[in-house]
């Protein structure tokens, strides 16, 4: 906007300049002669201190400067002698853009719990914590597009309404235009529905992304994903964002290389571009851990943890080896896992993933070659007949951050798997066409954006890294 300067653009070199800023009042310290407004416009964690000579302003203006109100301030930027800021604004002219009632405004200038802020999610971006998180989330999004664009990937927009259950987990939200209020107990007649058949919100864009890869070589999707699993945990959302690259001619090792390179790239981008937000979040975490026993604290501060991931090679192990490590662990033998590791073939739970990453290897881990019976139909069978070329990237604090695989490109093998797993060949005949005509080795994976943002910001609950979380029993705003 012409004439207005965003606060993130200011620096001491601008001292002496007349500027206009706009933003929301965080605090107002009023006294007889000189008062101080802390103004934030969301462009940076740093609020701008506006100094007011009280003799210059009439009561009408002063009375409406309150926590939460919005202002336009014109004045001269000057070097500050205060210890908290390098420069400040000498307010000359103030326009009250929007009034606020400081008594009923939910975001008071004090510490609020994350639980409380979730209840006022429409206003929580006005806090330092949440504006930092959403700026970092944006930086991740931008870095992801840049990473793929720089490598010649094509962004494919895959459908949100779909008739196929890509993951075969049956955890889909149905989409209908039928009048549900007027359906009696009888079977639903889907031929009367909008698409003349049952359809749902997508759980993954992968099957469509594969079609793209088998024409454009390297593609990726980046879109909302929906899962109706009733998991009321700190790592699950009913609506989350997933990035799914799909690459022709890649095998599982190429796939792991790309996943590792991408994660390091995004984290490095945030380290390089979101420094003040990270410092803020690191201090917030240190503060909140101050009174906790050692065992409940993070071993290292946030920024150190991010650098560790960027600077160290991820450990790669097969499921077989991970299974042995877990079943032989003291934790398992002493019955300290909620889910005991006893039989080869069981799926790992979050507690097992975190044991591998946080206790055993102390490093991100990629587990590959999982038992075929716990993985989806599209994963490529290994020659041993009992495992598939799957890979999960496991991170500290969040556990599984990426799931992916080399895809079964052999038509006969794929059809056999579909048969075994009750996946309709008729429904997916379009998918099978890529194996019928010019099939090639290919691989891909899915990164959960919120899990990544959780790791980068250190937030404990996934509901705090998406602006408007959807979870069982909760869909507001
Ligand atoms: O492991 P998932 O289920 O893999 C797929 O959907 C594949 N089709 C991906 C592919 O190969 N193209 O999910 C991928 C990632 C998980 O590792 C996790 O980070 C995230 O998506 N995720 C969730 N994030 C938040 N809430 C949920 N309910 C999630 N379910 C999966
Ligand atoms: Mg998975």
Residue ranges per domain, the chain? 7-105, 125-314+363-464
The ligand with the least distance to the CA atom of 379 is: 1
The strand pair at 315-318 and 365-371 is best described as: parallel
Ligand 1 mutation target, pool 220, 240, 470, most atoms within 8 A of CB = 240
- pTM (two decimals): 0.96
Q: Are 29 and 45 in contact (CB under 8 A)?
A: no
The first and second tokens of residue 47, run together, are 């609020």
The first and second tokens of residue 332, run together, are 């398992």
What pLDDT is attached to residue 106? 95
Closest ligand 1 atom to Cα of 231: 28
CA 408 to the chain's CA centroid: 29
Q: What's the whole-number average pLDDT of the chain?
A: 95
Q: Which residue lies with its CA nearest to atom 18 of ligand 1?
A: 448
Q: Which residue lies with its CA nearest to atom 22 of ligand 1?
A: 448
Residue 233 has a CB neighbour count (10 Å cut-off) of 11
- The secondary structure of residue 2, as a DSSP letter, is T
The first and second tokens of residue 172, run together, are 């889909």
Give the pLDDT band of residue 182 (cuts 50, 70, 90).
confident
What pLDDT is attached to residue 374? 96
Burial of 394 (0-12, 13-18, 19+ CB in 10 A): buried
Cα–Cα distances in angstroms (integers) from residue 123 to residues 1, 105, 108, 127, 385, in the given order: 24, 9, 11, 8, 54
Closest ligand 1 atom to Cα of 452: 19
Could you give the CA distance from residue 214 to residue 438 in angstroms, rounded to a whole number?
Answer: 8
Q: In what order do the strands lie in the sheet with 154-155?
A: 154-155, 218-226, 239-248, 442-448, 399-406, 387-395, 365-371, 315-318
Q: Are 460 and 234 in contact (CB under 8 A)?
A: yes
Q: Is 240 helix (H, G, I), strand (E, B) or coil?
A: strand
Is the pLDDT at 28 greater than 90? The verdict is yes
Q: What percent of the chain has pLDDT over 90?
A: 91
Please write the tens of the pLDDT for every residue from 364-391: 999 999 999 999 999 999 999 999 999 9
Q: Are 202 and 226 in contact (CB under 8 A)?
A: yes
Classify domain 7-105 by CATH number. Answer: 2.40.50.140
The ligand with the least distance to the CA atom of 243 is: 1
What pLDDT is attached to residue 443? 98
- pLDDT top residue among 184 and 238: 238
Tell me the HSE value of 153 on the side-chain side, using a 13 A CA sphere: 26
C-alpha of residue 66 to centroid of ligand 1, in Å: 44
Closest ligand 1 atom to Cα of 445: 11
The first and second tokens of residue 466, run together, are 């998406």
Mean local confidence (pLDDT), 36-46: 97
Q: What percent of the chain has pLDDT over 70?
A: 100
Give the pLDDT band of residue 1 (cuts 50, 70, 90).
low
Q: Are 444 and 213 in contact (CB under 8 A)?
A: yes
Could you give the CA distance from residue 282 to residue 307 in angstroms, rounded to a whole number?
Answer: 13
Q: How many helices (H) and strands (E) does the chain have?
A: 13, 16
Is the pLDDT at 322 greater than 90? The verdict is yes
Mean local confidence (pLDDT), 202-221: 98
Please write the tens of the pLDDT for every residue from 256-284: 999 999 999 999 999 999 999 999 999 99
What pLDDT is attached to residue 29? 95
Is the pLDDT at 362 greater than 70? The verdict is yes
Q: Which residue lies with its CA nearest to atom 1 of ligand 1?
A: 403
C-alpha of residue 386 to centroid of ligand 2, in Å: 18
Is the pLDDT at 321 greater than 80? The verdict is yes
Question: Residues enclosing ligand 1, CB less than 6 A?
Answer: 166-167, 204, 206, 227, 236-237, 240, 242, 244, 400-404, 444-446, 448, 450-451
Mean local confidence (pLDDT), 4-22: 94
Could you give the CA distance from residue 322 to residue 315 in angstroms, rounded to a whole number?
Answer: 11
Residue 245 parent element (H or E): strand 239-248
CATH homologous superfamily of 125-314+363-464 equals Bira Bifunctional Protein; Domain 2 (3.30.930.10)
Q: Are 59 and 79 in contact (CB under 8 A)?
A: no
Among 184-198, 278-292, 415-429, 442-456, the minimum mean pLDDT is found in 184-198
Q: Are 371 and 386 in contact (CB under 8 A)?
A: yes
Place of tokens 């929301």: 24
Q: Which residue lies with its CA nearest to atom 27 of ligand 1?
A: 236
C-alpha of residue 476 to centroid of ligand 2, in Å: 27
Please write the tens of the pLDDT for every residue from 45-98: 999 999 999 999 999 999 999 999 999 999 999 999 888 889 999 999 999 999
C-alpha of residue 264 to centroid of ligand 2, in Å: 20
Could you give the CA distance from residue 428 to residue 69 in angstroms, rounded to a whole number?
Answer: 55
């Amino acid at each position: 906007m012409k004439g207005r300067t965003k606060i993130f653009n200011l620096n001491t070199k601008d001292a002496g300049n007349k500027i206009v800023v706009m933003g929301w009042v965080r605090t107002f310290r009023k006294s007889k002669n000189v008062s101080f407004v802390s103004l934030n416009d969301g462009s940076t964690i740093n609020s701008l201190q506006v100094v007011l000579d009280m003799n210059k302003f009439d009561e009408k203006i002063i009375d409406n400067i309150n926590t939460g109100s919005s202002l336009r301030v014109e004045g001269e930027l000057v070097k500050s002698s205060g210890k908290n800021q390098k420069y400040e604004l000498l307010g000359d002219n103030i326009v009250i853009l929007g009034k606020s009632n400081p008594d009923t405004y939910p975001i008071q200038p004090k510490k609020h719990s994350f639980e409380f802020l979730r209840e006022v999610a429409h206003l929580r971006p006005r806090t330092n914590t949440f504006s930092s998180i959403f700026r970092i989330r944006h930086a991740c999004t931008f870095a992801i597009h840049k990473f793929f664009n720089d490598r010649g990937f094509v962004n494919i927009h895959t459908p949100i309404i779909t008739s196929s259950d890509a993951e075969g987990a049956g955890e889909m939200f149905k989409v209908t235009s039928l009048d549900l209020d007027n359906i009696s107990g009888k079977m639903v007649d889907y031929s009367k529905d909008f698409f003349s058949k049952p359809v749902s919100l997508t759980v993954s864009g992968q099957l469509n992304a594969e079609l793209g890869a088998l024409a454009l070589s390297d593609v990726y999707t980046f879109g909302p994903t929906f899962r109706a699993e009733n998991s009321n945990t700190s790592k699950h959302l009913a609506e989350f964002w997933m990035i799914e690259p799909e690459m022709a001619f890649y095998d599982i090792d190429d796939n792991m290389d790309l996943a590792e390179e991408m994660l390091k790239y995004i984290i490095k981008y945030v380290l390089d571009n979101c420094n003040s937000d990270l410092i803020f979040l690191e201090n917030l975490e240190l503060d909140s851990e101050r009174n906790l026993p050692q065992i409940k604290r993070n071993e290292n501060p946030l920024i150190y943890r991010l650098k560790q991931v960027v600077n160290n090679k991820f450990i790669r192990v097969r499921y077989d080896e991970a299974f042995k490590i877990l079943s032989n662990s003291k934790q398992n033998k002493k019955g300290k896992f909620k889910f005991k590791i006893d039989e080869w073939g069981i799926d790992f739970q979050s507690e097992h993933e975190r044991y591998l990453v946080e206790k055993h290897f102390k490093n991100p881990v990629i587990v590959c070659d999982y038992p075929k019976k716990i993985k989806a139909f599209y994963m490529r069978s290994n020659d041993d007949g009992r495992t598939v070329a799957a890979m999960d990237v496991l991170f500290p604090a969040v556990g599984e951050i990426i799931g992916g695989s080399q895809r079964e490109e052999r038509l006969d093998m794929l059809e056999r798997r579909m048969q075994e797993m009750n996946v309709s060949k008729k429904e997916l005949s379009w998918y099978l066409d890529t194996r019928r005509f010019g099939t090639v080795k290919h691989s891909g994976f899915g990164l959960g954006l919120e899990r990544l943002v959780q790791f980068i910001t250190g937030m404990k609950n996934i509901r705090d890294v998406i602006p408007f979380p959807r979870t069982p029993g909760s869909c507001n705003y």
